Structure 1
């Protein structure tokens, strides 16, 4: 499988902070899951995908207001109905790891929510699958 890598950057803003003045873990997970879903949709060429599983989350260090984070995704595997990504989040300025997540599994589903084969075995770098090309 050819390697696919996708990087997204996020600023930590005041509205993203918890009661301790650090990035709220739930906000980071929201960012991670939302972007991972966008990647899954582009890779599988269909919008009918759901998050099925996330492996153990490892919050390595805190992020503070004003930090610039890089969310680095990689496609690691395609199954018959699923695809798996990994995500590593780090501080873009210091390089310090913030979060590691080895597996985010998405499943392609039909109208009733049942798993359906997607037929994809290789990653793509664009959105051509969504456009039917």
Structure 2
């Protein structure tokens, strides 16, 4: 299966700000998980997807009220019951990079991990790099989990 990007946008409003008048990292994390979830859910049934791990997010600049953010997410690696999403966020108007992160989602039925049958096949050097990073994070990011 190809790595198909999913794109969503968010407007940063006053309620999304921290005490420095910039985007609250917690709200950014919420939107990052939402974008990754949508990418995972686009490959299977949304009711069967749960987030297991946010592998990290690194902001490169502050985001102010009124900014329009573009979240591009795609599933970059698939284990037996896991899906690793990569999310890249830029300012919609300028494409200036803001933040990125990887997330692992698990395919569950009745609360238990089950195989999803999805296979991700990278086609470009960039996709191969994302695939390898996703595989590494999945293998090292939740060693205590029974999910794979």
Return the TM-score normalized by structure 2.
0.74
Shift of residue 46 of structure 1?
Answer: 4.5
2:31 pairs with 1:31: yes
Alpha-carbon distance in structure 1 between the residues aligned to 2:46 and 2:34: 15
Any conservation in 2 of the 1:80–1:119 contact (CA below 8 Å)?
yes
Q: Which runs of 5 or more residues in structure 1 are unaligned?
A: 124-133
Q: Which runs of 5 or more residues in structure 2 are unaligned?
A: 122-148
Structure with the larger helix share: 2
Aligned length: 121
Return the TM-score normalized by structure 1.
0.82
Cα deviation code 1:76-130 (max 9, x no counterpart)? 01111011110011111232211111x211101121x22111112259xxxxxxx
Alpha-carbon distance in structure 2 between the residues aligned to 1:46 and 1:122: 18
> Which is bigger in relative contact order (C-alpha 8 A, separation at least 6)?
1
* Equivalent in 112, 115, 118 of residue 117 of structure 1: 115
| Structure 2 counterpart SS, 1:34 | helix
Alpha-carbon distance in structure 1 between the residues aligned to 2:42 and 2:89: 21
1:19-58 equivalences under 5 Å are 19-58=19-58
Alpha-carbon distance in structure 1 between the residues aligned to 2:38 and 2:86: 14
2:71 pairs with 1:59: no
Alpha-carbon distance in structure 2 between the residues aligned to 1:8 and 1:77: 20
Alpha-carbon distance in structure 1 between the residues aligned to 2:91 and 2:44: 29
